[in-house]
Homo-oligomer: A and B are copies of this chain.
Amino acid sequence: MMYSQRILNTPSSFIRNILKVTSAEDVISFAGGLPNPISFPINALQETINKAIEAHGPKMFQYSTTEGYLPLRQYIADKYNNNFGLTIEPEDILITTGSQQALEMISQVLINKGEGIVVEEPGYLGALQAFSLTEPTFYPVELSEEGLNVEQLAQTLQNNPTIKFIYTVPNFQNPTGTTYTAENREAIYEVVKNYDVVLIEDDPYGELRWNGEKLPYIGAGRLENSVLLGSFSKIVTPGFRIGYMITKNKELLSHVNTAKQATDLHTNIFSQIVIHEYLTNNDLITHISKITDLYHTQASAMLEAIEKYFPKTVKYTKPDGGMFIWVTLEEGLSALDLFHKAMEEKVAFVPGDPFYTNKSNVNTLRLNYTNSSPEIIEEGIKRLGKILYEVTAKELV
Q: Are B265 and A98 in contact (CB under 8 A)?
A: yes
Most buried by B among A46, A111, A134, A261: A261
In the complex, chain B residues whose CB is within 8 Å of the CB of A144: none
B42 and A53 contact, CB distance less than 8 A? yes
User: What is the CA–CA distance of A2 and B252 in the complex, to the nearest angstrom?
Assistant: 10
B58 and A261 contacting across the interface, CB-CB below 8 Å: no
**Does A3 lie within 8 Å of B53, measured CB to CB?**
no
Q: How far is the CA of A5 from the CA of B255 in the complex (A)?
A: 11
A62 at the binding interface (Cβ < 8 Å): yes
Chain A residues with a Cβ under 8 A of chain B: 1-7, 10-13, 16, 19, 32, 34-35, 37, 40, 42, 45-46, 49-50, 53, 57-58, 60-66, 97-98, 100-101, 104, 108-113, 126, 129-130, 132-134, 164, 196, 198, 225, 233, 237-241, 249, 251-252, 254-255, 257-259, 261-271
Considering only CB atoms, which chain B residue lies closest to A33 in the complex?
B63
Closest to A110 in B: B4
Report whether B12 and A35 are in contact in the complex, using a CB–CB cutoff of 8 Å.
Answer: no
**Neighbouring B residues of A40 by C-beta, 8 Å:** 58, 61-62
Given contacts A4-B109, A268-B241, A61 and B45 within 8 Å (CB-CB) = yes
Residues of B within 8 A of A126 (CB): 261-262, 265
Distance in Å from the Cβ of A369 to the closest Cβ of chain B? Answer: 16
Q: What B residues does A61 contact at CB under 8 A? A: 37, 40, 42, 45, 237-240
Q: Are A258 and B12 in contact (CB under 8 A)?
A: yes
Residues of B within 8 A of A50 (CB): 46, 50
The 3 A-B residue pairs with the shortest CB-CB distance in the complex, in nearest-first order: A37-B58, A61-B237, A40-B61
When the two chains form their complex, are residues A3 and B241 in contact, meaning their CB atoms are under 8 A apart? no
A6 to chain B minimum Cβ distance, whole angstroms, is 7
B263 pairs with A104, CB closer than 8 A: yes
Q: How far is the CB of A94 from chain B (nearest CB, A)?
A: 13
Contacting residues, chain B, for A3 (C-beta < 8 A): 109-110, 251-252, 255
| A268 contacts across to B, CB distance below 8 A | 97, 239-241, 268, 271
Q: Is B240's CB under 8 angstroms from A270's CB?
A: yes
